[in-house]
A and B are shown apart, each in its own frame.
Chain A
Amino acid sequence: MTLLYLFRDAIKQMFTGSWRYWAWICLLLAMIALGGWFYVQQLLNGLVVTNMTNQVSWGFYIANFTYLVGIAAAAVMVVIPAYIFHRRDVKDVVLMGETLAIAAVIMAILFVVVDVGRPDRLWHLIPGIGIFNFPQSMLAWDVLVLNGYLLLNVGISFYIIFCHYRNCEPKLNRYFPFVIIGIFLAIGIHTVTAFLYSANTGRPFWSNPLLAPRFIASAFCSGPALMIIGLQLIRSISRYPVPQSVIKQLAIIMTVSLQITLFLIGVELFTEFYNEGEHAASARYLYLGLNGHNALTPWIWTALVMLGTATYIGTTHPLRNNMLFLNIACVLTVIGVWIEKGMGMVVPAYIPTPIGEIYEYTPTFAEIAVSIGIWGLGLLLFTLLVKAALPIECGTLRKPGVDPKDSICPLANMEKQ
């Protein structure tokens, strides 16, 4: 019964808001409609509406997928300080991190769904009625860990919210084991996603043990960067008290991860180019251009300059502690990693092909539109979940019968407000 009240109250929350809230929702709905329209075109005509070819058989969709798995994994950067190191201030925002992870995993899964040629046959993956090629196929592993991570995050967040709604403290020992599994799965989803690529020995650009560490490192740049921006937004448009110490903590995590990321890129560049052989052809295409083909070259250098600038800002204390500069660094990081780990990681592995053909790729408008639709859907999901969670976390929304004056306050910093 309380569960039904929770759903009722949550939905009520989602449907009440200022004109700004509704304008934001309408914008997201417009993005979804655009994506939906182009996805219908893709369903009717096939993947010909994309610019993918037999040569470059994965493109913009899978690039976004990879990036979003990283964002989802990065939620551990608030989960670990909150639950392992018992940082009370970080614990106040851990739910936001988990909500971000939920939205990011769902977006990642949707990017795979739109990339598949026969979505009507996705039931072939279900063990029993279908055939799930586990543990052979790395894609099967990815399906498993992504869904597991999604379920776990939904479960933990829901348990916490439901307890607070009933005005009781969630019992840590009840969900702590799941938190630990979640931490391993977070690293797991991104590692498995890296293995998905590095398993292909025929593509030397991917088949590289550094890929998984690079994925994790760059995820811990873009994830915290996105969280810093998101938490500030939440703080400014609601009365949710996001402690500045959390922002500072995330800024340091982002900075250190950026430093590691740049180091790892440097390591890779050395190995590729010091004794440049056939294995470096894709890297040459990406960074310098190959036989006059260089569609990605300006992008990757833009990304490197962005990441370099963000690292400089993060490493310089006065700049990092200045919110304007920190926000610039965050935006640069979010976009820089999106280029580097997305198109910059997926596409060059296909150029040249393993038998030496050079066929360049740029996404069509249809691909971009479908992607905008998925981003819109993810942002909408995140917005709605946060909208419902905020009043519960702030102690203003409780199950019927609880006097708001008696409501326990789950937030350590609420009193200071």
Chain B
Amino acid sequence: MSDQKTDLARRKFLKGIASVAAASGAAASAPAWGGSTLSDTFADFFQAHYQRMTEEEVQETLRRIERKAKRRYGVDISCKDTPAQDNVVFGYAINISKCRGYRDCVHACVEENNLSRDTQYIRVLEMADGSIDLLHGHHYYESDSVPHEGRYYLPMQCMHCDEPPCVKACPVEATWTEPDGIVVVDYDWCIGCRYCMSACPYQARHFNWGAPQLTAEQINPDTHYLGNRPRPKGVVEKCHFCVQRTREGRQPACQDACPTGARIFGNLLDPNSEIRYVLEHKAVFRLKEELGTEPKFWYFRDV
């Protein structure tokens, strides 16, 4: 965070602009500007970085996001900003001897997270038995007839690295690690340069090349600012460990949907959690560990 002095200067600057916006907003309170009011358009443009907002500004922003969703999709959503819980750092482990490649996690994730219907956060690779070479995995296998003979399945998504190269790459700090270890994106601060996508060794980041393809019926109205709220075009997004669910003690949608119990999610700081049991008792490994990214995403086999 920057020092207080510049923060104050910025606040003053933005306040001035906000009052101009409010004045002009009053003049044109009828929806204009592509369905948005003038004041909302101004507020959108001058919206501060999430971590720099006061509590009051956050609440205003959340309500504005709800209004925007109503205008765009005609749907009443609720947008929250549940903070990270104390003494929680999330981690994930996948039992690759249980995964059958059904891709139920992929589809549950799409629905839960209001993903554009051409985007998927989770990619399941079909791998040949005896090899862990990612370059030889199959990305587009048919999931109707799985599991295939001589193959095993390797689901991948954002690894929520402890040393995330994407966070380092971002020129405007639009992506960062939350106290509970989730690597998040402020979709309203991202400038869309896509440098983070080049930096990520796991192909976990996705860009909104056009406006997201999402219909009103498909919208999940339970949303989080750092999570599954509707995204604008021209910004990067990624898996956020279902922040809207997991910060309220629920499972991420992918774990919920998995019919084989291959997915284990939990608090790495809780010595009694299932994930801690796995890490302590199974031979676990991580992908591309040699890059020093310290993923909080492990794989293991039963036998």
Point out residues on A near B: beta carbons under 8 Å: 45-48, 50, 52-55, 57-58, 112, 115-122, 124-125, 127-133, 136-140, 143, 196-197, 199-203, 278, 281, 349-350, 352-357
Contacts and interface: CB of A to CB of B under 8 A. Distances in A.
A132 B208 CA distance: 23
Interface string B187-218: 00111111101111111011111110000000
Contacts of A53: 209
Identify which of A46, A125, A131 gathers the most chain B CB atoms within 10 Å of its CB.
A131
B96 interface: no
Given A200-B199, A202-B201, A137 B170 contact: yes
Contact of B192 (A116, A127, A128, A131): A116
B84 interface: no
B209 A52 contact: yes
Interface stretch (B134-142, B219-227, B241-249, B271-279): B134-142
Contacts of A54: 119, 197, 203, 205-207
Interface stretch (B21-29, B98-106, B171-179): B171-179
Given A124-B174, A355-B137, A357-B139, A116 B191 contact: yes
B233 interface: yes
A355 B134 contact: yes
A46 B211 CA distance: 7
Contact of B171 (A46, A140, A199): A140
A128 B45 contact: no
A128 B10 contact: yes
B235 A58 contact: no
Contacts of A50: 209
Identify which of B136, B168, B193 gathers the most chain A CB atoms within 10 Å of its CB.
B193
A357 B140 CA distance: 10
B190 A118 contact: yes
Given A54-B206, A131-B172, A139 B193 contact: yes
Question: Chain B: interface secondary structure?
Answer: loop
Interface string B227-243: 00000111110000000
A119 B192 CA distance: 8
B105 to A, nearest CB: 16
Contacts of A125: 171-172, 191
A121 B233 CA distance: 13
Given A125-B191, A139-B193, A45 B210 contact: yes
B193 A116 contact: yes
Contacts of B134: 354-356
Contacts of A121: 189-192
Nearest to B200: A202
A118 B210 contact: no
Contacts of B136: 356
Contact of A281 (B135, B139, B195): B135
A281 B168 CA distance: 26
Contacts of B49: 124, 131
Nearest to B7: A128
B207 A138 contact: no
Given A57-B197, A124-B191, A139-B169, A118 B234 contact: yes
A124 B165 CA distance: 20
Interface string B55-72: 000000000000000000
A51 B259 CA distance: 37
Given A119-B191, A128-B6, A133-B170, 18 more contacts: A46-B208, A47-B234, A53-B209, A57-B198, A117-B208, A124-B189, A125-B172, A128-B10, A129-B10, A130-B172, A133-B173, A137-B195, A197-B198, A202-B165, A203-B201, A354-B202, A356-B134, A357-B139
B32 interface: no
B189 A143 contact: no
A88 B21 CA distance: 59
16 contacts: A46-B209, A46-B210, A46-B234, A47-B209, A57-B194, A118-B191, A121-B190, A128-B9, A131-B173, A137-B168, A137-B170, A199-B199, A202-B202, A202-B288, A350-B198, A352-B135
Contacts of B173: 131, 133
A357 B134 CA distance: 9
A133 B171 CA distance: 5
A117 B288 CA distance: 29
Contacts of B198: 57-58, 197, 200, 203, 349-350
B212 to A, nearest CB: 10
Contacts of A352: 135
